[in-house]
């Protein structure tokens, strides 16, 4: 493995317009470039490293540990990662880490790193659950972390945050009607509502065209972790990255099909968060090539 986190090279590349208060401490910068709008309420952190994946596409665990810590701290707005985790979770919580299983699945190394971070702030190992489709486990949890991989989807346009809980609905096929505009409804089910305290998107190697099988032509190394306490804002930023990559590949607008109307609906109809990018504060940190946002 190379490097020990966000590398100095990444740091120097990441000093783009708008950076304020940058400093190096323990090998990590403490603040990044921000796209901030006056009156912003939702914060999304996007933290990247060119060394997050090795040359053979394996997870660089040391680097990704630091990416997760920096992303969570930036999203929550604390001086260190431990304070961020403690702000979100109590030692008495039963925490479910919900990951993607099919079509560009979550790198489980990231889930294991999140488990380590939770344990470090006092959540007992027996109260940390890895969840993919186990509704009974969701019901046991007092808190959830959504940890999907960033990807387009052939039925929903984007198949990342909002679609993650579809198997808990008991009737997933019903939510593919009307271009999946009702995915936000799942987040309001009584055993899910209000439990998601953190969204971490695995953006190490996204896929920007619909499946159901992953086409390697539309996968690329982004080397990122996207973090937010607002699931819709996190989805909106991920969607922006996916759409920008599609346009880059074609050299012209290449809209997602079906259109990902679930994102705006989650905001406007289900009040789950902010979908308007002009109202989202995006904190960017690290590797500065190919941001797409």
pLDDT surpassing 80 at residue 38: no
Beta bridge partners of 47: 225, 285
Please tell me the predicted confidence (pLDDT) of residue 173: 81
Convert the pLDDT of each residue in 187-217 to its tens digit: 999 999 999 999 999 999 999 997 667 889 9
Q: What CATH number is associated with residue 171?
A: 3.40.50
| Within-domain flag for 52 | yes
- 3-class DSSP state of 178: helix
pLDDT surpassing 80 at residue 30: no
> Which band of pLDDT confidence, cut at 50, 70 and 90, is reported for residue 31?
very low
Please tell me the predicted confidence (pLDDT) of residue 42: 96
| Residue of 15, 118, 123 whose CA lies nearest to 69 | 118
Q: Kindly report the pTM of this predicted structure.
A: 0.88
| Within-domain flag for 107 | yes
| Within-domain flag for 195 | yes
Residue 115 is part of which domain span? Answer: 8-286
Written as six digits, the tokens of 42 are 């939702």
| 8 Å CB contact between 146 and 161 | yes
The Cα-based distances of 177 to 41, 129, 276, 285 in angstroms read 31, 31, 24, 38
| Within-domain flag for 71 | yes
d(CA 219, CA 29): 28
| Within-domain flag for 1 | no
pLDDT surpassing 70 at residue 273: yes
Written as six digits, the tokens of 196 are 């998601």
| Within-domain flag for 292 | no
| Residue of 134, 169, 168, 172 whose CA lies nearest to 156 | 172
Convert the pLDDT of each residue in 251-270 to its tens digit: 999 999 999 999 999 999 99
The two most distant CA atoms of the chain are separated, in Å, by 51
| Within-domain flag for 93 | yes
pLDDT surpassing 90 at residue 219: yes
Convert the pLDDT of each residue in 83-96 to its tens digit: 999 999 999 999 99
| Within-domain flag for 248 | yes
pLDDT surpassing 90 at residue 126: yes
Query: How many structural domains does the chain have?
Result: 1
């Amino acid at each position: 493995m190379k490097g020990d986190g966000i590398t100095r090279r990444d740091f120097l590349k990441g000093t783009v317009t708008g950076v304020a208060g940058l400093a190096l401490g323990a090998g990590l910068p403490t603040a990044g470039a921000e796209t901030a709008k006056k009156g912003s309420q939702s914060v999304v952190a996007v933290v990247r490293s060119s060394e997050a994946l090795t040359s053979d596409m394996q997870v660089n665990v040391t680097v990704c540990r630091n990416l997760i810590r920096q992303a969570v701290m930036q999203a929550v707005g604390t001086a260190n990662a431990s304070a961020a985790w403690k702000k979100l979770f109590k030692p008495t919580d039963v925490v479910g880490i919900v990951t993607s299983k099919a079509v560009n699945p979550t790198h489980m190394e990231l889930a294991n790193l999140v488990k380590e971070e939770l344990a470090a702030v006092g959540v007992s190992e027996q109260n940390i659950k890895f969840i993919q489709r186990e509704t009974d486990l969701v019901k046991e949890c007092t808190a959830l972390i959504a940890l999907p991989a960033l990807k387009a989807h052939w039925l929903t346009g984007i198949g990342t945050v909002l679609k993650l809980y579809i198997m808990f609905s008991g009737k997933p096929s019903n939510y593919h009607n009307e271009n999946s505009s009702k995915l936000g409804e799942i987040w309001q089910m009584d055993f899910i509502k209000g439990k998601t305290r953190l969204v971490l998107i695995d953006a190490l190697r996204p896929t920007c065209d619909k499946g159901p099988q992953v086409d390697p032509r539309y996968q690329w190394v982004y080397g990122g972790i996207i973090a937010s306490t607002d699931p819709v804002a996190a989805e909106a930023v991920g969607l922006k990255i996916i759409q920008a990559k599609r346009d880059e590949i074609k050299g012209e607008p290449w809209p997602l099909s079906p259109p990902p109307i679930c994102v705006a609906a989650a905001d406007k109809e289900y009040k789950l968060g902010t979908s308007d990018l002009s109202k989202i504060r995006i904190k960017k940190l690290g590797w500065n090539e190919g941001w797409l946002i």
